[in-house]
Amino acid sequence: MSTNRSTYLLAAMLGVLAARGLGPETLDPWRGWMAFKQFAREVAETPDPGVSVQIQPLGHRGPIRLYLLRQVVTLEGKRLEPTGGVVCEFTFAPRRRLPRRWEAWSFESATFERFVDVVEQYPLFADLMVTRPRESAVYWEDA
């Protein structure tokens, strides 16, 4: 992955946040999601490198992590291989009941709008959107 590409994408996400008056360490989930969708649309590519929403419980009575990921891929032979991505991460307090791990990818839906519908209709995602996170961060992560 080119350092310029990763720097550009991370700067683009941070720019969307700044334009909305938001900081990566103090994001509320709904505003972060709105900004992330805008970012994903602005840097869309063909073929779709993949936008993902992932919910990962970190064990019984452990925190829950919500990841919004805009993946970057490179062509290696005839395959697209992930090289990294821009991540918007939220950490939430544990739940009484341990939720299941869940993820959705944009390339599994016919359109980006349908992907957004799938994500926003998932009950735990909807619940997390109105929950105050313990932490939030925006960063580049290598694959």
- CA–CA separation, 118 vs 109, rounded Å? 8
* pTM for the structure as a whole: 0.92
Q: Which two tokens stand for residue 81?
A: 């291989």
41-70 pLDDT tens trace = 999 887 777 999 999 999 888 999 999 999
CB 74 within 8 A of CB 45: no
Q: Identify the H or E element spanning 72.
A: strand 64-76
Burial label, 23 (beta-carbon count in 10 A; 0-12, 13-18, 19+): exposed
- CA–CA separation, 38 vs 116, rounded Å? 12
Q: Which two tokens stand for residue 47?
A: 């073929």
Task: Give the mean model confidence (pLDDT) for residues 91-107.
Answer: 93
69-78 pLDDT tens trace = 999 888 788 8
Query: What are the boundaries of each domain within the chain?
Result: 3-142
